[in-house]
Amino acid sequence: MFTTKANTIFRDVIEKYHVINTVDQPFENPYNKSSHLIEHLLYRKCWIDTVQWHYEDIIRDPQIDPVAALTLKRQIDASNQDRTDMVEYIDSYFLEKYKNVTVKNEATINTESPAWGIDRLSILALKVYHMNEEATRNDASAEHKAACQTKLDVLLEQRVDLSTAIDTLLSDIENGDKYMKVYKQMKMYNDDELNPVLRSQK
């Protein structure tokens, strides 16, 4: 199943990040883009998500220097754009993979593309990792750990359900029962021409 591979890569990314556990550490993708394209994209996608997860932790520090916070906000904006771009790259991979599938007359479109489901699966891997940390934290109270374990159980169930849904969607697309139609996000706030504040500065 596709998501077995994806979930394994996501786990590897998150564990690799936490060896050094800093947002400014160097990134190295172990998958060659030319020979292992989807693995390369999945690894990069989850790395972006993992770094942004920790950006979001840092910026919520009530004692953060305002200048540092503004710099970090710009980094989060750039990360959000990278995240969206990676989703579109992953969807492009699937569009190419299934381009010769004969779509059945009764085929239907899905509410989201495969890559946006994969995006949620990557974020879910981060939730699982960090909730497990809280559920097993030595300096936490028994009540805290029990509450986090309950949440972790729900997250693990959600991962099974989401993985099943993604694999089913990919199977349906491959069989012609569903078809892909991908819309670019067309984000406006980073565009010098579409954001009125940026446009006024030109």
Structure confidence at residue 129 (pLDDT): 98
Give residue limits of the domains in the chain: 2-200
Structure confidence at residue 182 (pLDDT): 80
3-class DSSP state for residue 137? coil
Count CB atoms within 10 A of the CB of residue 170: 21
**pLDDT tens-digit profile of 59-109?**
999 999 999 999 999 999 999 999 999 999 999 999 999 999 999 999 999
- Assigned token pair, 156: 């693990």
What beta strand segments (E) does the chain contain?
A: 108-109, 178-179
Structure confidence at residue 189 (pLDDT): 64
- Give mean pLDDT in consecutive 10-residue pieces for the chain, a chain of 202 residues: 98 98 97 97 98 96 95 94 95 96 96 96 98 97 98 98 98 97 70 67 70
Q: What sign results for the dihedral spanned by CA atoms 18, 78, 124, 110?
A: negative
